[in-house]
Structure 1
Amino acid sequence: MTGTAVRDAAGWLDNRFALPEPRFRLLCLPFAGGSATFYADWAPLFSSTVELVPVQLPGRGALMGLPPAASIAEMADAIAPVAAASDVPVALYGHSMGAIVAFEVARRLQAAGRAPVHLFVSGRPGPRIVRPERPVSDLPRAEFVAMLRDYGAADPEILDNDGLLDVLIPMMRADFRAVETYRRPAGPPLECPVSAWAGLDDEEAGPDLMRLWEEETTGAFRLDCLPGGHFFLLDHHERIVTAVHRRLEAGR
């Protein structure tokens, strides 16, 4: 814990896909500026044994009225107690910023004696690497919006709507600032298996950088590479879900 007041994250979990008797609960963390809806298409692809729980970070979607988190630690401090209260084993998936949030939640769960059964990550180098090399959170508005277009995740209709941008840009800046200021704290590696995916054309987190996640676990590590750039998982989510499901069921 960071020593600051911990926010109540009970309302951050999107429980639309709750199952009666799951064997595993998979918490999914979004990229910077992203929302829980990013993972909605994954839910029907899992069997009745894996319950998908997208995490809605404050400042977007149904939590638009809440101030965004100021740091990765603030996000993880809030999410970890809710995850620890799960009545079934928890696994974590995070893409880009979400990978670091998932990692920090996993560290907190392990320290509390409630280690996750698996950490799945994509789109973000191992946490010992500082990213991005060039801060973007304080860019002038026009340059910031141009960066979001290049980023490739934001809906062009949103980026063309000045009124909506007035509402969303503060949250997006906060997310990018959280990434820019993150530094991996000292501490032991994870004990759970870690699975990583890399886009072959991802300039931010290609295969060599994603391989650095192997340093973060004493458990099994696996890296899979798929065609595409930073958001390669948009075209390959069925393949990723299949792998996640199989590895959870196999316990490795």
Structure 2
Amino acid sequence: MISADRRQTSALRVLSPRTHARARLICFPHAGGAAGAYRGWSLDAPWDIEVCAVQYPGRGDRFDEPAATDIGSLLDDLVPALTSACTGGESVTTVLFGHSMGAAVAYEAARRLAVTGSPPAALVVSGQPAPERTRGGGTLHRATDRELLADLNRLGGTARDVMDNSALLGALLPAIRADYRLIETYRPLPSGPLDIPVTVLYADDDPEITADEAAAWSGVTTGACAVEVFTGGHFYLETRRAIVLPRVFRTVRAALPPTATAWPSTP
């Protein structure tokens, strides 16, 4: 478990501490999302998995900071806290998870951590094409507010009470636009392949990813790569949560070292 004096270090948020955690799942939000999106995950996590999330600048309790508009500067902001979590002298296995834009950020963060000698034990990506198959070239980050909001409606990941609150939307749109720019201009950063297991999750009715784009993630690692498809749209994580969340937690536990000792009460 992350010690109390590190729970709010920089970008990393511990959403529901687990005193006896053997593994840590660090989650990366989608475009426009914040760390709090994973609070429900943290409450549903089993006793031995502590769920954390990164808080991107420009949202949540970092609302007064400028949002990153490219993945390099975002990594510069996030990686120090991630490195601390991976090398804090604790016998805790760390796994990264990211959905949509968060999948690309988690992947690039895993690569940078690997270069510095502190890679995560595994990576789970969701709802995002493999880096070499990234669609890019989008122009919504330069579109009108109305067009940007129409795309948020299309994907369906923003709460109705937020979409109906014009004042709140006006405050959030700069960060959302910055995220769209980041993912629409994203290209894989120079680096070698990972050497960790990668799990790819996606939904069969998601317009943002195809089966081929999901399968192409196998090229990012020399380790094992598993691909699993669910029913639903881009935000199947919520509509199929009862099935998806246990799948993610099984992946986290699979990353534990063989010498990890399970308690008799392991659920």
By the TM > 0.5 criterion, same fold?
Answer: yes
The AA in structure 2 aligned to 1:55 is: V
Match of 1:92 in 2: 96
Q: How does 1:94-113 map to 2 (within 5 A)?
A: 94-113=98-117
Match of 2:252 in 1: 248
Match of 1:205 in 2: 209
Match of 1:123 in 2: 127
- Identify which of 133, 148, 152 aligns with 1:148: 152
2:10 counterpart SS class = helix
Residue range with higher mean Cα deviation, 135-144 or 81-90: 81-90
Query: Are 2:72 and 1:68 equivalent residues in the alignment?
Result: no
Query: Are 2:224 and 1:227 equivalent residues in the alignment?
Result: no
Displacement of 1:132? 4.1
Displacement of 1:130? 3.0
Once residues 52 and 238 of structure 1 are traced to their aligned partners in structure 2, the CA distance between those partners, rounded to angstroms, is 17
Once residues 131 and 53 of structure 1 are traced to their aligned partners in structure 2, the CA distance between those partners, rounded to angstroms, is 29
The AA in structure 2 aligned to 1:23 is: R
Displacement of 1:213? 0.7
Once residues 145 and 251 of structure 1 are traced to their aligned partners in structure 2, the CA distance between those partners, rounded to angstroms, is 39
Q: How far does the alpha carbon of each residue in 1:146-166 deviate from its partner, in whole angstroms, 9 at most, with x for none? A: 122112111233223222222
Unaligned segments of structure 2, at least 5 residues: 1-7, 257-267
Note if contact 1:76-1:102 (Cα within 8 Å) is conserved in structure 2: no
The AA in structure 1 aligned to 2:26 is: L
Once residues 247 and 170 of structure 2 are traced to their aligned partners in structure 1, the CA distance between those partners, rounded to angstroms, is 39
User: Runs (4+) of structure 1 moved beyond 6 Å?
Assistant: none
Match of 1:30 in 2: 29
Once residues 104 and 83 of structure 1 are traced to their aligned partners in structure 2, the CA distance between those partners, rounded to angstroms, is 12
Match of 1:78 in 2: 77
The AA in structure 1 aligned to 2:33 is: G
Unaligned segments of structure 1, at least 5 residues: 1-8
Displacement of 1:27? 0.6
Match of 1:192 in 2: 196
Note if contact 1:42-1:237 (Cα within 8 Å) is conserved in structure 2: no
Match of 1:5 in 2: none
Note if contact 2:58-2:67 (Cα within 8 Å) is conserved in structure 1: yes
Displacement of 1:24? 1.3
Residue range with higher mean Cα deviation, 72-81 or 206-215: 72-81
Note if contact 1:42-1:238 (Cα within 8 Å) is conserved in structure 2: no
Give the TM-score normalised by the residue count of structure 1: 0.91
Q: How far does the alpha carbon of each residue in 1:127-172 deviate from its partner, in whole angstroms, 9 at most, with x for none? A: 1123345321111122121122112111233223222222111110
Displacement of 1:26? 0.9
2:161 counterpart SS class = helix
1:10 counterpart SS class = coil
Corresponding pairs, count: 244
1:85 counterpart SS class = helix
